[in-house]
Amino acid sequence: MRTFKLNDGNEIPSVGFGVFMVEPNGPTEEAVSKALKAGYRLIDTAAAYFNEEDVGRAIRKSGVPREEIYVTSKLWMQDYGYEAAKAGIDASLKKLGTDYMDLYLLHQPYKDTAGAWKAMEEAVRAGKIRSIGVSNHTVKFLEKLIPQMEIKPAVNQMECNPFFQQKELRRYMEPYGIRLEAWYPLGHGARALFENPVLTKLAEKYGKNAGQVILRWHFQEGIVALPKATSQAHIEGNLDIFDFGLTDAEMDEIRALDTGKGTHDPDDMSNEAALSRYNVHE
């Protein structure tokens, strides 16, 4: 697996396996087991996915040494604030059944992110977390939070694909060395993206499918991609992107597809509704 270096010196696999909306109590464990067998080494979960325990079980049963697997989870908004975040970190470690997490993120901007971040910084110093970062934080939110940080985010996980390339955000993060990590890297399977003539032409040229071309574009842009899949064919296919390379001109063709719009406005975080849907303490 190819890796990228983070601003804290740690390395992260360039392609990971996300388990958002994969059911717990069996389906997640099965999907993660397939992914690890296929060669994935980054597994991305979250407290609010309610499947951290499944991820932990799959890792323990896989036979792959723990140090070879890059485990990511996220602190839910319900546990923001200094004291609550300390408890939330320990809860994720317990559910995953591991002594440390490779990456831990603030799931969304909400109220006392600074207090939660302080707890995450302390967890890094205590060896409970190796890298810390944020998710769904636009320039607007980062500008407020970064001055309060002692450790800068290693990662910002955001929606990103050829139709929504986060160019302004990436420019802002570059001086800090914050690496973009993409959720919905395949545009949530949007037909308009997969049938785009630029991508289908490149897929035909390289003997790949459009999804593989898209994931190769992410890799060459230096963006960590987190495609979601449950079928064996898609799980394996999403990793089959390292035997070809896009030219500079082809990269520019894909960059020109950017619309600047995703599935929602990332600056409009209506989080009270999300809090009512996801109660991680139940």
Q: Where are the domains of the chain?
A: 3-277
Top mean pLDDT of 19-23, 24-28, 185-189, 215-219 is at 215-219
Closest CA to 108 of 70, 81, 140, 135: 135
Tokens of 274: 């999300």
Tokens of 260: 């600047």
Residue 269: pLDDT band (50, 70, 90) is: low
Top mean pLDDT of 21-35, 59-73, 253-267 is at 59-73
Task: Work out the burial of residue 218: count CB atoms within 10 Å of its CB; fewer than 13 is exposed, 13-18 middle, 19 or more buried.
Answer: buried
- CATH architecture entry for 3-277: Alpha-Beta Barrel (3.20)
Q: What percentage of the chain has pLDDT greater than the value 90? A: 88
Mean pLDDT of the chain: 95
pTM listed for this prediction: 0.95
Residue 110 annotated in active site: no
Which H or E run includes 75? strand 70-75
pLDDT above 80 (res 214): yes
- Are residues 92 and 46 in contact, defined by beta-carbon separation less than 8 angstroms? no
